[in-house]
Amino acid sequence: MTELGTISFGLLIIFAAVGGAAVLTWFERRLLGVWQDRYGPNRLGPFGVFQVAADMLKLLTKHDWVPPFADRLVFVFAPTAIVVAMLLGFAVVPFGPDLYVLDINIGLLFFLGMTSLAVYSVLLGGLASNNKYALLGGLRSAAQMVSYEVFMGLSLMGVVMLTGSFSMRDIVEAQRDVWYCVPQVLGLFTFMIAGIAESHRLPFDLPEAEHELTAGFHTEYGGMKFAMFMLGEYLGLILICCMITTLFFGGWLGPVLPPVVWFCLKVFALICFFVLLRAAIPRPRYDQLMSLGWKIMLPLTLFNLLLTGAIALWMEG
């Protein structure tokens, strides 16, 4: 691709991702409604799809308020960090055989780095608010991210081992025969759980835990700053789904339909599954979350790593 083509494709990805995240707020509420035997927002426009616009207008017209006791600079900066980090993460996602912004030989590491950067947003937001609930939320998110980051990276090493490359394109190409969700089922399981924790979505949304910490790290946030946090969360959800698709479900690979359509379909199915997890599973207690991470998921990941390594060595002869 030419330089101009890459830039315009990058912009397209940004608009598609942000637009997708906005529509996802409505879609998720409708889907949750289906599973909870109610309708969700269905008043505005066909199937209530204009609810997105209504929410946006409301958030835009809200008073942009910074609490007098907050650390002003950090308080304003924090919400942007998560959006920027998550959007940068989309750069390495291959949407098709030649539909990507950049294909670097450490694509996977770049993605892991960007999702880790997003932690700063939550942490700084909680710290700069100068509010006890927000601080507790930030504290929790820091601990949660640290413990889930560990096996998030390790769970992908099985995939890397089988492919022999960190490049996303190579990983997809290596799944021509069999998708990695079959040989790497343990890796998929652990990565999925780490991904939910990483984007702090509902079963693992302890940083905001609204019935313990009012709204956790974004207690003091309102208007568009709050919207940025939400946007970052939904972008994170889409990004994690893109990653799971690429790493475990063969990315753009699939018969008949064009590659991009296959990719989008897989991502869509995964998003629905994540919403289902939100609808079904209650939030664990904080210590349960930590012990799940360190006592179960980490050993499981290490076991997977050892097993994959042994089999890979054995196959080589």
Q: Binding residues for another protein, per CB under 8 A?
A: 33-39, 276-277, 279-281, 296
Amino acid at 51: Q
Q: Which residue has the tokens 């022999």?
A: 164
Output the smallest distance, CB 277 to another protein, in A.
7
Closest to another protein by CB, 3 vs 37, is: 37
Helix (H, G, I), strand (E, B) or coil at 173: helix
58, burial (CB in 10 Å: exposed 0-12, middle 13-18, buried 19+): exposed
Output the smallest distance, CB 283 to another protein, in A.
13
Output the smallest distance, CB 66 to another protein, in A.
35
Closest to another protein by CB, 127 vs 194, is: 194
For residue 127, give both structure tokens: 């710290």
Output the smallest distance, CB 40 to another protein, in A.
9
Closest to another protein by CB, 121 vs 304, is: 304
Q: Could you give the CA distance from residue 154 to residue 190 in angstroms, rounded to a whole number? A: 9
Output the smallest distance, CB 301 to another protein, in A.
15
Output the smallest distance, CB 203 to another protein, in A.
9
Closest to another protein by CB, 253 vs 279, is: 279
Output the smallest distance, CB 206 to another protein, in A.
17
Torsion, CA 304, CA 305, CA 309, CA 310, rounded to 10: -40
Closest to another protein by CB, 133 vs 148, is: 148
Closest to another protein by CB, 38 vs 72, is: 38
Closest to another protein by CB, 168 vs 244, is: 244
Q: Could you give the CA distance from residue 306 to residue 199 in angstroms, rounded to a whole number? A: 27
For residue 108, give both structure tokens: 């996977």
For residue 86, give both structure tokens: 């998550």
**b/e for 125-160, b at 16 or more Cβ within 10 A?**
bbbbbebebbbbbbbbbbbbbebbbbbbbbbbbbbb
Helix (H, G, I), strand (E, B) or coil at 95: coil
Q: What are the residues whose beta carbons fall under 8 Å from the beta carbon of 105, sequence distance 6 or more?
A: 165, 166, 167
Output the smallest distance, CB 297 to another protein, in A.
11
Distance of CA 261 to the CA centre of its chain: 21
Closest to another protein by CB, 161 vs 186, is: 186
Please tell me what DSSP assigns to residue 65. -
For residue 74, give both structure tokens: 């950090």
Q: What are the residues whose beta carbons fall under 8 Å from the beta carbon of 40, sequence distance 6 or more?
A: 29, 30, 31, 32, 33, 34, 48
